[in-house]
Amino acid sequence: MFGSYGDLYPYIAIGIELQKLGHRVTLATSAGYREKVESERLAFAPVRPDVSLENREMLRFFFDQKRGTERVMRAMASVICESYDDTLDAARDADVIVTHPMAMAGVAVAEKKRLPWVSSVLAPISFLSAYDPPIPAPAPWLASLRRFGPGIMRAVWNFGKWEARRWVQPVIALRQEIGLAAVSNPLFEGSHAPDLVLALFSPIFAAPQPDWPKQTRITGFPFYDGIEKDLPAELEAFLQAGVPPVVFTLGSSAVGAAGNFYSESLQAVKQLRTRAVFLTGSHSQGLEETGADALGSDVLLWPAAPHAQLFARAAAVVHQGGVGTTAQAMRSGRPMLVVPFAHDQFDNAERVRRLGVATVIPRSRYTARTAEAMLAPLLGDNSYRQAALEVANVIRAECGSAAAAQAIDHYVRRRDESGVLDL
């Protein structure tokens, strides 16, 4: 897998559950994640590219709303040969390969070695359904075409797939070079395994659609909460010192492209006269120099904290809409303000808005004034809190990581017994 912690953590969670079922698990991903993977006693294999969440210039480049996704895909495709070589080595003794949505080299290795293959998607946008049209970050207005029916949306998505195919020409060239069959698009149809596709999210987040791969199984969100179960002492003391705060976070990657998000948020908090925790990452966000007097006793700056433990203590959560952060906010039972930057975040934001647990402001329109206006009802309208608690009850009951591991285990065992899949 590749990407942020929101990409890594679901596979750590599934890997832990697979180990409980007696499987040996190797996570093949960027070298910088070795320590985190091995801390859970999972085997690790480095696969290029080595993504760094400390590279702010790179993060700003990839979090451009209009071209961010294209840039990510072109970057991944540009090192496909290196990724393929590394994955081939990592899979030397593998019995089955489970692929992340961007693991195009993993798909090629599974097909080349003729290994059993399970694919997965982390967010509904990966299916690009014409019946439940996602909201693409480069052109959110396209979602308005849904009123014309699935035929129009199918034509729109087909054009988008044709355009996206140009981004991954090196992948197409590699597949031809190593003698694999041509696929219509390595980013879409070509990324779905023929026997089993795991949708690693809740059915209340996205229900199955007629044009999803028929072999799709929805598992629920796989949650990994880390080894540390307690909040840091200073953060715990702050939480106990007053009413629940609003928590502001941009996950592990958008936080490197925050711009003035935190300074505008601070102004909104002061206008609302509410307490707040800002998870600012390891980057300077322009608040460190503000000083304790300006921040006041009701605002705490903190680099990072376990979302599961912190969100449950919040009055509301303000976040970027990454699927991992969104899932944790849903599980917490707290209303949320979503500020999508790029990629799948606009679609994730719309899905929680439809559930009645969130309001949404695109990053381009996020100011102290708009943040204050959107936060006020979340903090004062009980309907948001009630809807958030109802959603949380569903999410907490799903056990997505165990369900995903059991689906993989069943697939492997049935293949071992009969050589065919029998779900």
Helix 382-396 and helix 323-332, axial crossing angle in degrees, nearest 10:
110
CATH number of domain containing 217: 3.40.50.2000
For strand 276-279 and strand 336-338, is the pairing parallel, antiparallel, or unpaired? unpaired
Residue 160: inside a domain, yes or no?
yes
Whether residue 303 sits in one domain with residue 195: no
Q: Which are the contacts of 292, defined by CB distance < 8 A and separation ≥ 6? A: none
Whether residue 406 sits in one domain with residue 323: no
What is the model's pLDDT at position 354?
A: 97
What is the model's pLDDT at position 289?
A: 61
Q: Tokens standing for 48? A: 């290029």
Residue 387: inside a domain, yes or no?
yes
Instruction: Output DSSP code: residue 182.
Output: P
Whether residue 13 sits in one domain with residue 108: yes
Instruction: Give me the number of domains the chain comprises.
Output: 2
Residue 24: inside a domain, yes or no?
yes
Write out the H or E segment, with its range, that includes residue 46.
Answer: strand 43-46
Whether residue 179 sits in one domain with residue 250: no
Residue 261: inside a domain, yes or no?
yes
Whether residue 173 sits in one domain with residue 104: yes
Whether residue 181 sits in one domain with residue 74: yes
What is the model's pLDDT at position 267?
A: 95
pTM for the whole thing? 0.94
Whether residue 133 sits in one domain with residue 58: yes
Q: Which are the contacts of 382, defined by CB distance < 8 A and separation ≥ 6? A: none
Whether residue 212 sits in one domain with residue 304: no
What does the alpha-carbon distance between residue 391 and residue 377 come to, in Å, rounded to a whole number? 18
What does the alpha-carbon distance between residue 224 and residue 226 come to, in Å, rounded to a whole number? 6
Whether residue 258 sits in one domain with residue 188: no
Would you say how long the chain is, in residues? Answer: 423
What is the model's pLDDT at position 418?
A: 56
What does the alpha-carbon distance between residue 199 and residue 126 come to, in Å, rounded to a whole number? 9
Q: Which are the contacts of 58, defined by CB distance < 8 A and separation ≥ 6? A: 52, 256
Q: Which residue has the tokens 């992340």?
A: 100
Residue 215: inside a domain, yes or no?
yes
Residue 227: inside a domain, yes or no?
no
Domain span including residue 203 = 5-221+399-418
Whether residue 346 sits in one domain with residue 251: yes
Strand-pair partners of 46: 29
Instruction: Output DSSP code: residue 367.
Output: -
Whether residue 391 sits in one domain with residue 403: no
Whether residue 270 sits in one domain with residue 169: no
Residue 228: inside a domain, yes or no?
no
Q: Which residue has the tokens 């879409």?
A: 188
Residue 308: inside a domain, yes or no?
yes
Backbone φ and ψ for 26, nearest 5 degrees, come out as: -120, 125
Per-residue pLDDT for the chain (423 aa), expressed as one digit of tens each?
Answer: 678 999 999 999 999 999 999 999 999 999 999 999 999 999 999 999 988 888 889 999 999 999 999 999 999 999 999 999 999 999 999 999 999 999 999 999 999 999 999 999 999 999 999 999 999 999 999 989 999 999 999 999 999 999 999 999 999 999 999 999 998 899 999 999 999 999 999 999 999 999 999 999 999 999 999 877 789 999 999 999 999 999 999 999 999 999 999 999 999 999 999 999 999 998 778 776 665 556 788 999 999 999 999 999 999 999 999 999 999 999 999 999 999 999 999 999 999 999 999 999 999 999 999 999 999 999 998 999 999 999 999 999 999 999 999 999 999 988 766 544 333
